């Protein structure tokens, strides 16, 4: 009887470290980036591109929106261009001509004025399109952005005329 108890106690003693190690790599959700929005994020460079997407009024055209965060606390930066990339490089991009300057440690929202419009067969709600965001000082960022219809929370986003 004592031998059985000793074996059982030894088995429990060996199992405790194994069972307790199951959670050693556990990452609580509060320690992870959470993206509640529809758009795509890229935080890999000096300028973060946040919640980037294309709002489309009709197939073939739309408006690029994104939040741009300049992580440089000393120098401003400028968005010099947005263009199609990869398989989507044939997308045509036009800008209202306004300078998109991002203050040091600042934020700029492209959705406010509908400054960047895109056209191309790839622009259809439900699809993803690869875009390159180029900056004066920061490195360029390639990002796959979703295309959404200008309804619901995107109803107020200006879309290209005729859309």
pLDDT tens for 87-105 read: 999 999 998 777 899 999 9
Given a contact cutoff of 8 angstroms between Cβ atoms, the answer to whether 47 and 66 are in contact is no
pLDDT at 163: 45
For the chain, give the number of residues: 163
pLDDT value at 50 more than 50: yes
pTM: 0.76
Q: How far apart are CA 27 and CA 19, in angstroms?
A: 17
Identify the residue with better confidence: 72 or 20: 72
Which of the 8 DSSP states describes residue 26? Answer: -
Q: Is the pLDDT reported for residue 151 higher than 80?
A: yes
Q: Does residue 6 have a pLDDT over 90?
A: no
Three-state secondary structure call for residue 123:
coil
Task: Using CA atoms of 115, 74, 135, 42 in order, give the dihedral in degrees to the nearest 10.
Answer: -90
Mean pLDDT of the chain: 86
pLDDT of residue 138: 97
Q: State the average pLDDT over residues 72-92.
A: 96
**Cα–Cα dist 42/24, whole Å:** 29
- What residue spans of 49-150 are helical by DSSP H? none
Q: Tens digit of pLDDT for each residue in 55-71?
A: 999 999 999 999 999 99
Closest CA to 138 of 72, 41, 61: 72
Alpha-carbon distance of 144 to 108, in angstroms, equals 20
Q: Rounded to the nearest 5°, which phi and psi values hold at 106?
A: -115, 175
């Amino acid at each position: 009887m004592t031998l059985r108890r000793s074996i059982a106690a030894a088995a429990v003693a060996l199992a405790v470290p194994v069972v307790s190690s199951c959670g050693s790599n556990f990452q609580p959700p509060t320690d992870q980036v959470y993206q509640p929005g529809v758009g795509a994020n890229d935080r890999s460079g000096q300028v973060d591109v946040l919640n980037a997407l294309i709002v489309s009024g009709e197939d073939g055209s739309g408006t690029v929106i994104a939040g741009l965060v300049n992580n440089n606390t000393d120098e401003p930066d400028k968005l010099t261009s947005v263009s199609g990339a990869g398989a989507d490089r044939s997308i045509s991009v036009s800008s209202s001509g306004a300078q998109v300057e991002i203050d040091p440690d600042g934020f700029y929202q492209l959705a406010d004025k509908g400054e960047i419009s895109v056209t191309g067969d790839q622009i259809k709600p439900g699809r993803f399109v690869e875009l390159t965001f180029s900056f004066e000082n920061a490195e360029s960022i390639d990002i796959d952005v979703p295309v959404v219809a200008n309804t619901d929370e995107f109803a107020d986003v200006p879309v290209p005329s005729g859309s």
